[in-house]
Amino acid sequence: MLTRELNSASALDAAHSVHPHTNLRAHLEQGPLMIVKGDGIHVIDEDGNRYIEGAAGLWCASLGFGNARLGEVAKTVMTDIGYYHNFRGASTPAAAELSARLAAVAPDGMDRVLLQSSGTEANDTALKLVWYYWNAKGAPERRKIISRSGAYHGTGTLTSCLTAKANFHAGFGLPFSGFLYTGMPYHYRMARPGESEQEFSTRLAEELEAMILAEGPETIAAFWAEPVMGSGGAITPPEGYFEKVQAVVRKHGILFVADEVICGFGRTGEMWGSQTYGIEPDLICCAKALSAAMQPISAVIIREHVFQAMLEQSDRYGTFVHGYTYGGHPVASAVALEVLKIYEEMDLIGHVKSIAPGFLAGFEALRDHPLVGDARGVGLIGAIEMVADKTTKAMHDPSLKVMARIDAATRRNGLITRLIGNRLALSPPQIITSGEIEEMFARLKASLDTVAAELN
């Protein structure tokens, strides 16, 4: 029995919909937050409450919520063809043009594109391509994959193994063997006393190399990394981190896979997070902002030497045996292609660069707040960390339910954020204005002030 009166849609949801990352028993009683409309950076619930969506949904609604232009594109393609696949050499104009446009904005030397339907699918496909590559090279013993503690790369069976978070494994019999987890680049929480960011990065690179040597470099297939660790808590890498880690990976001939599902398409202030941090990946996985979250689509972007190995395998086996029914879907492809045109028209990268200083200043201004231990970000993604003691970095007693209090306070103040452990992340739609950024942080500060007063 529901504990509050619900309209019919909410009642149906509570009775029948199974929700990811949700306490299933509580949902039976409480029902959903039913969002019924979007308007720019705002969403509106069934009761008419209007929220700044400070998390862009799931880091993905780069153009905000609701877009008539994209709706017309989807309508046209749905009317003209609706669906066709990309199996056995078939294609559609939208899929072909999108692949070419992605190749044009990809880092140099990455001209091959494999369209899929989600970030999880992209990472799962990249895993298969990594193993396909090493089999082509006559090194099938290279099977082991290294990702990083706290990393998120999806919730499929294999991608959950890439995801190095214990709660993603509990109860599922995961992870499988062959997935290794090196240190999380989380300077605020993981650095030793007095250890600078550069020193911390050096230690992490040395620990990575020690792991590789202990396992045997000849058994390691790939290293997986998000430029900014999204679901790990919007963790930005410490100074020198990727330069040092990439040198270790390259030294031992290991493939580097950049998971750009969150960071791609301007989130960090460049088209790719890899460009922000000087990463030269062999494979890029992208999704989310590829279609501004308006359609489910993703892509794996492939460096030429990996594609050449794929050609060798196709010659050997007669065909490239991989694919999903909706990969390269014409409606999703057309919408994504139009999104990339909109990014170019609005000068997405220039816009993010122009407003990022104000966004980051909002985090900096919260450093002195009594609840905040750390605050940092890059581009239009960042987070604050809540602590009970700024000096010791001690967390609050769980019985105080500080993060739940903050979540309730921000909702009352018309703001939706992303809570990850004791961190609160913001990654607003990339159409946000300077004035809207100021309003977003004003609402956040008011919410933190309310909770601090309650705790005192």
User: Which CATH number is 295's domain given?
Assistant: 3.40.640.10
Name the E strands within 303-454.
372-378, 381-386, 415-416, 418-420, 423-426
334, 234: one domain: yes
Across 409-420, average pLDDT: 98
The reply to whether 314 and 446 lie within a common domain is no
Please report whether residue 379 resides in a domain.
Answer: yes
Domain boundary, last residue among 316, 346, 376: 346
In a domain, 304, yes or no: yes
Per-residue pLDDT of 251-297, as tens digits, reads 999 999 999 999 999 999 999 999 999 999 999 999 999 999 999 99
Q: How far apart are CA 245 and CA 279, in angstroms?
A: 10
CATH code where residue 373 lies: 3.90.1150.10
Residue 69 predicted with pLDDT over 80: yes
CB 376 within 8 A of CB 383: yes
Indicate the average pLDDT of the chain: 96
Same-domain pairing of 149 and 203: yes
- The pTM of the full predicted model, rounded to 2 decimals, is 0.95
The last residue of one of the domains, among 327, 346, 365, is 346
In angstroms and rounded to an integer, the radius of gyration of the C-alpha atoms of the chain is 22
Please compute, for residue 40, the number of CA atoms within 13 A of its CA located in the half-sphere on the CB side.
7
* Domain assignment present for 340: yes
How would you list the strands of the sheet with 381-386, edge to edge? 372-378, 381-386, 423-426, 418-420
**Within a domain: 20:** no
Residue 4 domain flag: no
Task: Identify whether residues 53 and 96 lie together within a single domain.
Answer: no
- Same domain as 221, residue 105: yes
Residue 279: per-residue pLDDT: 98
Percentage of residues of the chain with pLDDT beyond 90: 94
pLDDT of 95 strictly over 50: yes
* Total number of domains constituting the chain: 2
3-state secondary structure of 186: coil
Contacts of 409 (CB under 8 A, 6+ apart): 446, 447, 448, 450, 451
Other CB atoms within a 10 A radius of the CB of residue 389 amount to: 10
Final residue in a domain of this structure, among 296, 316, 346 = 346
Indicate if 278 and 168 belong to the same structural domain: yes
User: Residue 302, SS3?
Assistant: strand
Give domain status of residue 8, yes or no: no
Residue 221: both structure tokens together = 């297939």
pLDDT of amino acid 353:
98
* Mean pLDDT, range 408-422, rounded to an integer: 97
Residue ranges of alpha helices (H) inside 47-92 are 56-59, 68-80
Contact 279, 227 (CB under 8 A): yes
DSSP string, 371-402: TEEEEEEETTEEEEEE-S-TTT-PPPPGGG-H
18 belongs to a structural domain? no
Mean pLDDT to the nearest integer, 159-181 = 95
Same-domain check for residues 362 and 320: no
How many angstroms separate the CA atoms of 309 and 145, rounded?
19
What mean pLDDT do residues 225-250 have?
98
Mark whether 448 and 409 lie in a shared domain. yes
More confident residue, 11 or 213: 213
The pair of three-digit structure tokens given for residue 414, joined into one six-digit string: 């018309």
| Interatomic CA distance for residues 383 and 360, integer angstroms | 10
- Residue 8: pLDDT band with limits 50, 70, 90: confident
Of the listed ranges 5-14, 130-139, 167-176, 417-426, the one predicted with least confidence: 5-14
* 281 and 337, same domain (yes or no): yes
Residues 304 and 404 both lie in one domain: no
Per-residue three-class SS string for 126-183: HHHHHHHHHHHCCCCCCCEEEEECCCCCCCCCCHHHHCCCHHHHCCCCCCCCCEEEEC
Residue 1 covered by a domain = no
Assess whether 59 and 79 both reside in one domain: no
Structural domain that includes position 38: 33-66+348-455
14-68: per-residue pLDDT in tens?
889 999 899 999 998 889 999 999 999 999 999 999 999 999 999 999 999 999 9
3-state secondary structure of 208: helix
Query: How much is the pLDDT for 6?
Result: 56
Residues pairing with 255 in the sheet: 222
Q: Beta strand pairing status for 144-148 and 179-182? A: parallel
Same domain, 399 and 286: no
**Which sign does the torsion angle of CA 183, 186, 190, 196 carry?**
positive
| pLDDT tens-digit series, residues 116-155 | 999 999 999 999 999 999 999 999 999 999 999 999 999 9
- Structure tokens that stand for 33 in this block: 């937050």
